[in-house]
Structure 1
Amino acid sequence: MLLIDCPHCGPRDENEFHYGGQAGIAYPETPATATDEEWAEYVFLRDNPKGWFDERWFHVHGCRTWFTLRRHTATHEFWKAP
């Protein structure tokens, strides 16, 4: 079990959270004119590093806010993202 430190509620069990994917993915500036390739990149292409990785998390069973954490993908250590 992972212990995730919510910035508003403090440390909580991972079952209270929803994983939101890689942090820092920008929505297309002009969605109406985006090409299929641009949409495919936005929807499907993500980094998959072994090491520190910025992720978005949603505290479903708590304060109901989104926040960014930095997680080590091999050891599952958490740090607050800058």
Structure 2
Amino acid sequence: MTFRLTCPVCGKRDVYEFTYGGPERGPRPADDVPAEAHLRWSQFRMNRPGPREEWWYHGAGCGVWFSTRRNSTTNREEPR
């Protein structure tokens, strides 16, 4: 399945120009929390269907990392 992403520099492009960087995870836990919290933050990612914020790298274009909101069930970008 193919879809298009909107690069903030180059505009709409085919997904094959990009590399998936994973979902946005939120801020890193503080240093004084248990090690288990750090492990969960760094290793466990929820793969729920629906809209989510994701990181993408435009390697075949301008070389910029950017965040976008995409619905993983429809593969369409959504407004923030």
Give your verdict on TM over 0.5.
Answer: yes
Cα distance, 1:27 vs structure 2: 3.6
Distance 1:43 1:24 in 2: 9
| Counterparts in 2 of 1:29 and 1:59: CA distance versus 1, 3 Å | farther
Q: Deviation at 1:40?
A: 1.9
Q: 1:1-82, aligned counterparts within 5 Å?
A: 1-30=2-31, 36-80=35-79, 82=80
Runs of 4+ aligned structure 1 residues displaced above 6 Å come to none
Distance 2:63 2:70 in 1: 20
Aligned length: 79
- Work out the percentage of aligned pairs sharing the same amino acid: 33
| Matches of 2:45 and 2:26, distance apart in 1 | 9
Point out where structure 2 has 5 or more consecutive residues left out of the alignment.
Answer: none
Stretches of structure 1 lacking an aligned partner (at least 5 in a row): none
Structure 2 counterpart of 1:19, which letter? Y
Root-mean-square deviation (Å): 2.0
For the residues of structure 1 that align with 2:67 and 2:43, how far apart are their CA atoms? 20
TM-score normalised per structure 1: 0.76
Q: 1:28 offset after TM fit, Å? A: 4.7
TM-score (norm 2): 0.78
Amino acid of the structure 1 residue aligned with 2:22: G
